[in-house]
Structure 1
Amino acid sequence: MDMRTRVTTALKQAMKDKDAERLSTLRLVNAAIKDRDIALRAAGNEEAKGCDNSDVLEILGKMSKQRKESARAYEEGGRLDLAERELREVKIIEEFLPKQLDDDEVAKAIQTAITATGAGSIRDMGKVMGELKANYTGQMDFGKVGPLVKDHLCSASNGDC
């Protein structure tokens, strides 16, 4: 079952269960997916069927990250009630994301991507990141992975960064 169908099915179930918080979060996810569909069509892609699974995973990852950042800001501001609400939304969104890779798996994925792209210097970082995004969207935080890729490439080119 594709991601869009999973979200729609969960949305319908939340309506039946009268779970207002889950329903609200899933409506936000659905709206973000539809916004991406519209953006794809507006970009001159009239025959586009909409976003695919990788696009949906990217949307879900961004939404999760945004809510985690908001929760952290609310906690710093002393608004624990709002922080808890954001974290509950994160939990609902992450139900649809694949299992996050641990540090060892991330390191292995980086090494595999470097080998697959034939990267030898920091100038190849874009190729490596593209390879990782193509294969691991939703499974790792690319903001944290970027510096790790840079470290791997720098050490591969004898610290020539």
Structure 2
Amino acid sequence: MSTLKERLRADLTTAMKARDELRTSTLRLALAAVKEAEVSGKTAHELSEAEVEKVLNREVSKRREASEAYAAAGRAEQATREGAEGDVLADYLPKRLGDDELAAIVEKALADGDFAGPRAIGPAMKAVQAVVAGRADGAKVAALVKARLAA
């Protein structure tokens, strides 16, 4: 079992004992998403640490999108709740890269791979994503890579 999954379970128990409703419900949903990912597909399997992180990243993105949608619809209370759930889950993920760090990683990966021109966007994205490994938003990475290769 991955250590992240064990940590989620242990923190769920702690949150339940502390009667922290937000944390309890958020961790239950996260563990349910992990379990769903484990049993999806042709055969059930135990998720690796990286796969659990990927599931949590997806859940954080869902919460951010829902928060924005609720805010746009004028439902501030729901937007705040979704944002708080996203913050709880984000605590379990690696620290996000800053804009300067991300730009430096993109520059280095493009220089190392000797990518040039718009046709190299696909392979360049693959190289950058391997280094970034879920620590930055994919859309932000894609925008940086496209801007750099189009110039």
- Cα distance in 1 for partners of 2:7, 2:130 equals 21
What CA deviation, in whole Å up to 9, does each residue of 1:15-73 have, x standing for no partner?
Answer: 22222211111111111111111225x2xxx4x74222222222222211221121111
> Residues of 2 paired with 1:132 and 1:50: CA distance?
27
Gaps of 5+ in 2: none
- Once residues 49 and 131 of structure 2 are traced to their aligned partners in structure 1, the CA distance between those partners, rounded to angstroms, is 12
Q: TM-score, normalised by structure 2?
A: 0.87
After superposition, the C-alpha distances for 1:85-144 in whole angstroms (9 at most, x for unaligned) are 101101101101111111110101111221333322322222222223323233100112
Q: Which amino acid aligns with 1:123?
A: R
TM-score, normalised to structure 1, is: 0.83
Is the Cα–Cα contact under 8 Å of residues 105 and 131 in structure 2 kept in the other structure?
no
Find the partner of 2:94 among 78, 95, 98.
Answer: 98
Q: Percent identity?
A: 33
Residue type at the aligned position of 2:82: E
Corresponding residue number in structure 1 for 2:36: 35
**Structure 1 residue corresponding to 2:79, chosen from 66, 69, 83:** 83
Q: Distance in 1 between matches of 2:52 and 2:112?
A: 25
Q: 1:118 to 1:50 in 2, by over 3 A?
A: farther
Identify the residue that residue 12 of structure 1 maps to in structure 2.
13
Instruction: List alignment gaps of at least 5 residues for structure 1.
Output: 156-161
1:127 lines up with 2:128 in the alignment: no
State the match for 2:113 in structure 1: 117
Alignment CA distance shift 1:122-1:4 (3 Å): farther
